[in-house]
Structure formats: structure tokens, C-alpha cells
Amino acid sequence: MKPADVCIAVLVAVIWGLAFVASRIALNEFSPELMTTLRFAIAAVPCLFVRRPDVSWPLLIAISFTLFLGQFLAQSIAIAQGVPVGLTSVIVQSQALFTIGFAALLFAELPTRMQTIGIAIATVGLLMICGTVGYDFSVGAFAVLMISPVSFAVGNLLLRRAQDVRMFDLFAWLCLVAAVPLFALTLVSNGPQPTWHALTQMSLTGLVCMLGLGGISTSIAYWLWGRLLRDYTAAQVVPFALLVPFVGSAASSVAFCETFGPLRLAGMVTVVGGIAVMLLSRRAQTLPKIA
């Protein structure tokens, strides 16, 4: 990779890591539903200037509801219910484990030996983290959080079917498709009056967080990431995502004085280590067709 593109990949990972901290701060003012709605409404502004990509509505909705709506709404609800930001950033990256697993089940893409080892390592790390659930946040909150990487993984596989389209246009419309039902959900769950009050009483801190989440973390960062994946192989680009949980954990420890017990910290490191083994190994092989 060119040095400039390496810097872009690192920058995107830093932006995504800091986004977890911005989400936690924004949740002091907004409900999880409203915060997620605002995030995608801001990121969908480019739809005013770009045409809808040549992707069918059912596929567009399916990708949006998994890759964006399901992933980020689950994150927001879990953080609002007390799941630490640093831990959240690690769990979300476990999507690599689920992506490889679902690809094996649905498309017969057998993981390599090293990927299998990585899956086993990451699974052990998740089990170690599960052993710490119930002390500072509930089992229910952790269950909601686990929806995020699973939804992320399904969205990754669906995204394969949207080929030969401009990434910026696609992500803008995916955000729009997610924002509409999220706004309806916000009105139903929060009520019109509380929603209007939260919007009109938004502080400068809340506004900055939402602009960062919608305009930078979602719109710009995803576009940059898509451009890198267009110009380089996934094996060259995807490992940079390993920086996200480290940035998220470090930032949360500074911003919120977040600390981790020995078992949870060991579990987080084990998960990241397993993901590293998966991402740095060779791509999965497809089972040969049997007549």
C-alpha cells in the first residue's frame, strides 16, 4: 500500500475507535433510538446530490437493516444499558468470527486451518468475557450487544451482492433507508413530545458528537474504507480494523476512567488476538461442487 493510503487506513480506524466514545457522550442527551436516527439522517444528506445506486430495493433494505440499523442500534442500546465502551468496541469486531462462520454455512467457504485456529481463540476470549457478565452490566445488555456483530456479519455477506456500484452513493442510500424506520421507531418508543424536546434542547456537545458520528464516522470514514477496499485486496486493508478496539479502549479509559478486571482484559486481548489470526491468514477456500 502507498504510504498515504496506509495513513488513511489508520485514520479510519482511529475515527471508528473514537466514535464509540462519542456515542457514549451523545447518549447522555439522546435515547439510543434517537441517537442512531440522527447518525444516519446526517450521513444520508448526500442522497440529495447522488442518485440511487443500481441495487434492488429488497437488497438495499436488507443490507441497510443489518449492516447499519441492526448493528448500530444494538450498540447504542447496549452502551446505554451500561456495557463499557472499550468492551463494546472489542465485541463488535468479533463480527469477523461470525462472517467467516456464516460464509462457511451458507456458501460452503471452508475456513483455512489458521482461520479455524483464530475462530477457536476468539471464541475462548468471548467465553472469558461472558464469565464477567452480571457484575457491572446485565446479561440482557450483553445479549443485545451480541446482536451487533451478528448483524454486522450478515450485512457483510449481503454487501457482496451489491457489485459494480459507487461505494459513496451506496452507503449514503443505506443510511437513508436506515434513518426512515429508525425515526418511526423513535416516535413510537420515545413519543413525539420528548423527541422534539431532545432535538430543540440539544447542547453544543451533543451536536458536535452527532456531526462527528454521522458526517465523519459514518459518511466519510465508510467512503474512505470502501475506496481502500476498491484499490487494494481485503487482506491488505481489513487488518487495519484491528486498531479500532485498541483506540476505543484507550479513549474510553481516558474519557471515562474505564478499567477492566484481569479476566475481562484477558478475554478482550484474546478476542483481538483471535481476530488477528483470522484476518492475517489466507482467504477461505470454497468447497468443490460434487456432481
**SS3 assignment for the chain:** CCHHHHHHHHHHHHHHHHHHHHHHHHCCCCCHHHHHHHHHHHHCHHHHCCCCCCCCHHHHHHHHHHHHHHHHHHHHHHHHCCCCHHHHHHHHHCHHHHHHHHHHHHHCEECCHHHHHHHHHHHHHHHHHHCCCCCCCCHHHHHHHHHHHHHHHHHHHHHCCCCCCCHHHHHHHHHHHHHHHHHHHHHHHHCHHHHHHHHHCCCHHHHHHHHHHHHHHHHHHHHHHHHHHHHCCHHHHHHHHHHHHHHHHHHHHHHHCCCCCHHHHHHHHHHHHHHHHHHHCCCCEECCCCC
In this prediction, residues 105-124 reach a mean pLDDT of 82
24 to 19, 59, 143, 172, 256: CA distances (angstroms)? 9, 31, 18, 24, 10
The answer on pLDDT for 235 being more than 70 is no
In this prediction, residues 224-247 reach a mean pLDDT of 77
In this prediction, residues 148-165 reach a mean pLDDT of 86
The answer on pLDDT for 156 being more than 60 is yes
Which pLDDT score, from 0 to 100, does residue 134 have?
65
32 to 72, 149, 183, 186: CA distances (angstroms)? 9, 17, 11, 9
Between CA 230 and CA 1 the distance in angstroms is 12
State the number of CA atoms in the 13 A half-sphere of 234 facing the CB.
Answer: 9
The answer on pLDDT for 65 being more than 70 is yes
In this prediction, residues 64-85 reach a mean pLDDT of 93
The answer to the question of residue 97 being in a domain is yes
What share of the chain has pLDDT > 90, as a percent?
Answer: 40
The answer to the question of residue 287 being in a domain is no
The answer to the question of residue 225 being in a domain is yes
The answer to the question of residue 10 being in a domain is yes
The answer to the question of residue 286 being in a domain is no
- Interacting residues of 284 by C-beta distance below 8 A, sequence separation 6+: 100, 103, 104, 109, 110, 111, 112, 115
- Interacting residues of 183 by C-beta distance below 8 A, sequence separation 6+: 37, 41
The least confident of 1-10, 17-26, 36-45, 227-236 is 227-236
Which pLDDT score, from 0 to 100, does residue 35 have?
96
The answer on pLDDT for 168 being more than 90 is no
The answer on pLDDT for 290 being more than 80 is no
Highest-pLDDT range among 111-115, 201-205, 230-234, 242-246: 201-205
The answer on pLDDT for 287 being more than 50 is no
Domain span at 232: 3-281
- Interacting residues of 113 by C-beta distance below 8 A, sequence separation 6+: none
Tens digit of each residue's pLDDT (9 = 90 or more) over 208-228: 999 999 999 998 998 888 778
In this prediction, residues 175-187 reach a mean pLDDT of 95
The answer on pLDDT for 31 being more than 80 is yes
Structurally, the chain folds into a number of domains equal to 1
The answer to the question of residue 291 being in a domain is no
Position with higher pLDDT, 40 vs 279:
40
